[in-house]
Amino acid sequence: MTRVIGKRGDSKLGGDSNSTIYNVPTTKGKNLIFFGNYEWRKKETINNDQIQVWGCPKKTCPARAHAPIGDVVHLVVKTDHNHLPSRTKHIVRERKEQLKQQARENTVLPPRELISASREQLTDEQLISMPSYSSSKRTIERQRIVPERLQVDVQNPLEIVLGFLMDF
Ligand SMILES: [Zn+2]
């Protein structure tokens, strides 16, 4: 599971207020973090293995950040990325809206299926920006409140009739 490593101490990196550092589990190992809308991968160590150098997964990007070994929270960006951040925020917003719409249109489908459909074909960094499973489930339930209430209203007169008949 993706987990939050911590908040970055250094605030010199402008452009994004999101200073949370995430660890991103990957199939190839745990050497990927996500910070400020960019992915960072472990590169070489320098200063007699005192400093871990982090770089961009994009080969053409010169971005570099330094952090003491085992202390990624004190990441300091040395060279910026030469490209825009990912479209993650936009895509995540889009998927949330889709989930709401699906919840209203398919009122009998289990939340589990709607949620897994809303997460299909997302990248690691998009997935960690998606709402948690339980929060998505609450979203679905909220969207379905209206039809449920209508059903209850329809059932109520019947229950009154039944209750009346049972009295005899
Ligand atoms: Zn980059």
Q: CA of 96: how far to CAs of 54, 127, 132, 134, 154, in Å?
A: 31, 12, 11, 14, 31
The pLDDT tens digits of the residues spanning 124-136 come to 878 888 999 999 9
**Has this prediction a pTM greater than 0.75?**
no
Looking at the fold, whether 75 and 113 belong to one and the same domain comes out as no
Looking at the fold, whether 109 and 49 belong to one and the same domain comes out as no
Mean pLDDT of 74-87: 86
Last residue in a domain, options 57, 79, 101: 79
How far does residue 10's CA lie from ligand 1's centre (Å)? 19
**Higher pLDDT pick, 129 / 81:** 81
Last residue in a domain, options 79, 106, 136: 79
Q: What is the pLDDT of residue 29?
A: 54
Looking at the fold, whether 93 and 147 belong to one and the same domain comes out as yes
pLDDT of residue 106 exceeding 70: yes
Q: How many domains does the chain have?
A: 2
How far does residue 28's CA lie from ligand 1's centre (Å)? 19
How far does residue 91's CA lie from ligand 1's centre (Å)? 19
How far does residue 79's CA lie from ligand 1's centre (Å)? 10
Looking at the fold, whether 8 and 31 belong to one and the same domain comes out as yes
Looking at the fold, whether 74 and 92 belong to one and the same domain comes out as no
| CATH code where residue 31 lies | 2.20.25
Looking at the fold, whether 93 and 123 belong to one and the same domain comes out as yes
Are the CB atoms for 35 and 8 separated by under 8 Å? yes
Last residue in a domain, options 52, 79, 106: 79
Q: What is the pLDDT of residue 136?
A: 95
Looking at the fold, whether 162 and 104 belong to one and the same domain comes out as yes
Q: What is the pLDDT of residue 14?
A: 37
Looking at the fold, whether 58 and 7 belong to one and the same domain comes out as yes
- What mean pLDDT value characterizes the chain? 78
Looking at the fold, whether 42 and 98 belong to one and the same domain comes out as no
How far does residue 37's CA lie from ligand 1's centre (Å)? 10
Looking at the fold, whether 136 and 162 belong to one and the same domain comes out as yes
Q: What tokens does 96 get?
A: 């949330």
CA torsion angle 141 144 149 155 (round to 10): -100
How far does residue 153's CA lie from ligand 1's centre (Å)? 56
Please, which residues bridge with residue 40 across strands?
Answer: 33
Looking at the fold, whether 65 and 101 belong to one and the same domain comes out as no
Q: What is the pLDDT of residue 51?
A: 95
Looking at the fold, whether 63 and 25 belong to one and the same domain comes out as yes
pLDDT of residue 160 exceeding 60: no
Q: What is the pLDDT of residue 39?
A: 83
Q: Which residue has the tokens 């109520």?
A: 156
Domain assignment of residue 109, given as a range: 88-166
How far does residue 137's CA lie from ligand 1's centre (Å)? 34
